[in-house]
Amino acid sequence: MTLIPTMRAVQAFEAVARCGSVTAAAEELCVSPGAISQQIHNIEEALSASLFERRGRSLTLTSWGRMYYERVRVAFDQLRLAQDTLQLARTKPGIVISALPSLAMRWLRPLIQEWRAAHPNATIRLIGTDEEAALQNDHIDFRLSYGTDARKYDHFAELFTDTVVPVCAPDLLAKYPVSTPADILAGPLVDIEWDIRHATAPSWADWAQSVGEPAPKAAGELTFSLSASGLDAAVAGGGFVLAQMSMILDDLEAGRLVIPLERRLGMPEPYFLAWDRAALDRPYGSDFRAFLLAAARRQATLSAGREQAPVPARMKRSARA
């Protein structure tokens, strides 16, 4: 039966061979020279081989020692590399977030700007993609998902369930004034198609049914696969669109979009935040998660209509006057 030396003895041998003396190895490992000498004796006894030639106070590797050191050195280099990699991962100030493209552009981007203003030393990389991430393997700290996709992750929390509401550019109302739901359904409609793996968001037919009107006879004149693109078309005056509240807050406040008639429908599934557990041990990771969860609670109240949606600053001034 082969006797394997203790890890402490191998470590002492590697340090002496690399540093060139017992004294230097002892200083590096924070032990006494006597302890190093004892471990060298132990490893030579375990291996039944002389690893060093002693010439006065100096030590030189024997042929057996050089052979053994070449293998041990590689192993210790890998251990040091693993430790450096772990330390870098734990201390890096950057945060990497993956999110659905439209959610990244419309809801998450303003929040990141707010976060960065309060944490100027933190760096954030935002990846907009429909693909669900293998967090640790893809070096991603957080993922914003929709619906059942979140359940593939080990750690996740529900963010909010959004609602959709009709919106349009203010100038569109001059050409298509709205006083009833039928006025909206008779105007130009913008449609947004959803990925087939997700539960479909409410359509214009669903909205028409909710207000007691017949479904539009034709599909929307414009159809987009990205919510953000559909909203951009509405901002440009392309028509009415059923917009998610989470994606139009800035447009409402800036006056680029208005809600001509307050009638909301709930999304079929909530959004979720998933995270790599290791991200919470790094600088800013835990605080950033808490920030997103708090923002999601605010969004939940806005989406549900329990808090008034933003209005343009000029309308606020008119109300005060």
- Radius of gyration, CA atoms only, the chain: 32
Query: What is the location of CATH 3.40.190.10 in the chain?
Result: 94-160+270-303, 163-268
* Whether the predicted pLDDT of 35 surpasses 90: yes
Instruction: Kindly report the CATH class assigned to 94-160+270-303.
Output: alpha beta
Q: Output the CA–CA distances (angstroms, integers) from residue 9 to 102, 139, 210, 266, in the order listed.
A: 58, 36, 77, 66
pLDDT, average across residues 240-248: 96
Q: What are the tens digits of pLDDT across the range 164-183?
A: 999 999 999 999 999 999 99
* Whether the predicted pLDDT of 319 surpasses 50: no
Q: Residue 56: which region, alpha, beta or left (left: phi > 0; alpha: psi -120 to 50)?
A: left
Q: What are the tens digits of pLDDT across the range 297-308?
A: 999 999 998 877
pLDDT, average across residues 197-223: 84
Q: What are the tens digits of pLDDT across the range 262-275?
A: 999 999 999 999 99
Query: What is the location of CATH 1.10.10.10 in the chain?
Result: 7-91
For residue 256, the model assigns a pLDDT of: 96
Tokens of 180: 């009833």
Q: What are residue 240's DSSP bridge partners?
A: 189
One CATH from 3.30.360.10, 3.40.228.10, 3.40.190.10, 3.90.550.10 for 163-268: 3.40.190.10
Q: What are residue 58's DSSP bridge partners?
A: 55
Q: What are the tens digits of pLDDT across the range 91-111?
A: 566 899 999 999 999 999 999
For residue 317, the model assigns a pLDDT of: 43
d(CA 144, CA 199): 16
- What predicted TM-score, i.e. pTM, was given to this entire model? 0.70
**Per-residue confidence band for 86, with pLDDT thresholds at 50, 70 and 90:** low
One CATH from 1.10.630.10, 3.40.50.10800, 3.40.50.410, 1.10.10.10 for 7-91: 1.10.10.10
**Per-residue confidence band for 87, with pLDDT thresholds at 50, 70 and 90:** low
